[in-house]
Amino acid sequence: MKKVVQELVLFFYDLIFSLGFIVYLPFYFLRKKITIFSLIKRIGCFKAVSKKSIWVHAVSVGEVNLIEPVVDKLAESLDYSIVISTTTLTGNYLARKKYQGVAKVIFFPLDISCIIKIFLKKINPEIVIAAETELWPNLILRLKQRGIPFLIINGRVSYQAFKRYQRIRPIMKHILVNCSHIGVQNNQYRQRFINLGARPEQLSITGNLKFNSIKPNKEKIEEVKKKYISILKPSSRELFVAASTHDPEEKIILNIYQELCLEKSLTLLLAPRHPERIASIEKDILAKGFRPIRISKISQLTYGKKDVFILDTVGELLYFYSICDICFVGGTLSGSGGHNILEPIYFLKPVLFGPSMENFSDIAGKVLQASAGILVKSPQQLKEKLKILLEDKGKRIDYAEAATDIFKEADSLGKNFKMILEGIKRCL
């Protein structure tokens, strides 16, 4: 009887999901969130793997970078095919570059019963691992029916997501109790999962993989230095990178830069979080009297103070942190929940960020406690702190010294990998 009820619920879920997807499909195409190619792949048109696999799901660029140490360890230690799925186009592009020869990279399926069954048949997973918080009812319940473990690594539930999920707690509880195990970043996230219906014994605090996931390619660092330093930092100009920005953060940064560039020898590089916004940002740059230049279009022409550079390539932001002097990490003044501030800190760069760090609260806390970053609560504060850093190189060295302690994090990779091995062992 229970199985009949579950299938009935999934039937109505399939119906609602399919109708909703069809309604929003034109908007996905319009906003360049999906292409014909990715849509075909998301319904199961890809070549099946030849043997049992480990399926790792990473939504976008951040998660694709996050899972790198896990994927490397899986490839080194276990004799399985590795399949990596992504949701976004940029995430898929980066995954194909990063994991070429290591894993088969696919698009994540539409969460519809018939499509999920096709994917499970073609991927033939021993275990499915999702990075952070990916709770798809059809996938999780179909895995449960087949006795295939579903694990969440680096799990988190932001405050905004927690409030949304609370409205559908009975549904969330049914999904969560069918997860095999959930490794969470900290006790706050553990409690949120429990409040949404997960059982305490399903949860382990495994730390934050972001402390283990920064693995820059040394050859790439040298390539970026050789190609861009003479252009972005001519005559000892200093480079300010505004990274992972959201609307209206580019406008805020441009206002500040317009004032400071008149008195400081400064170059600005904007790296918007969503590349599809670049055309709009270029209009904002022109409106301020500057010339927008995309990094992908750079040639050996002469550039000057009236130029503002835009990072329009995927997966290269980390390497521009290596050559910058100061950076601001976005999503923090726009109320978007923030982005990863560890990457510039890895290169010992002073990092400014706003108060909206709900998605990275534990990292922000550690950074501020170590005095390795600067919290700015308003555009005016951002301008003031940036000006101080530009004038006082000694302060920048202080932040660099403090940054060296940040990565003394417990072995999150080891804890997460142990959880994966236990999950595999249970199904043997």
Provide the residue-wise pLDDT of the chain in tens; the chain has 428 residues: 567 777 888 888 899 999 999 999 999 999 888 999 999 999 999 999 988 999 999 999 999 999 999 999 999 989 899 999 999 999 999 999 999 999 999 999 999 999 999 999 999 999 999 999 888 999 999 999 999 999 999 999 988 889 999 999 988 998 999 999 999 999 999 999 999 999 999 999 999 998 888 889 999 999 999 999 989 998 878 999 999 999 999 999 999 999 988 777 899 999 999 988 999 999 999 999 999 999 998 876 667 778 999 999 988 999 999 999 999 999 999 999 999 999 999 999 999 999 999 888 889 999 999 999 999 999 999 999 999 999 998 999 999 888 887 876 557 888 999 999 988 877 66
From the list 84, 95, 97, the residue with the least C-alpha distance to 128 is 84
- pLDDT of 1: 58
Question: Which residues make Cβ contacts (< 8 Å) with residue 10, sequence separation at least 6?
Answer: 113, 137, 138, 141
pTM: 0.86
- pLDDT of 301: 65
- pLDDT of 234: 86
Question: Which residues make Cβ contacts (< 8 Å) with residue 95, sequence separation at least 6?
Answer: 58, 64, 84, 86, 103, 105
- pLDDT of 236: 79
- Going along the chain from its start, the domains and CATH numbers come out as 2-212+411-426 (3.40.50.11720), 218-403 (3.40.50.2000)
- pLDDT of 428: 61
Lookup result for tokens 């050996």: 300
Q: How many CA atoms lie within 13 A of 189 on its CB side?
A: 27
- pLDDT of 288: 95
- pLDDT of 406: 84
- pLDDT of 333: 97
The one catalytic residue among 7, 63, 250, 401: 63
Cβ-contact 371, 402 below 8 angstroms: yes
Quick one: tokens of 97? 């570059």
3-class secondary structure, 103: coil
- pLDDT of 383: 95
- pLDDT of 305: 79
Looking at 99-195, list the stretches that DSSP marks H as alpha helix, in order from N- to C-terminal side: 113-123, 137-146, 159-166, 169-176, 187-195
Q: What is the DSSP letter of 314?
A: S
- Is 63 part of the annotated catalytic residue set? yes
Question: Which residues make Cβ contacts (< 8 Å) with residue 347, sequence separation at least 6?
Answer: 321, 322
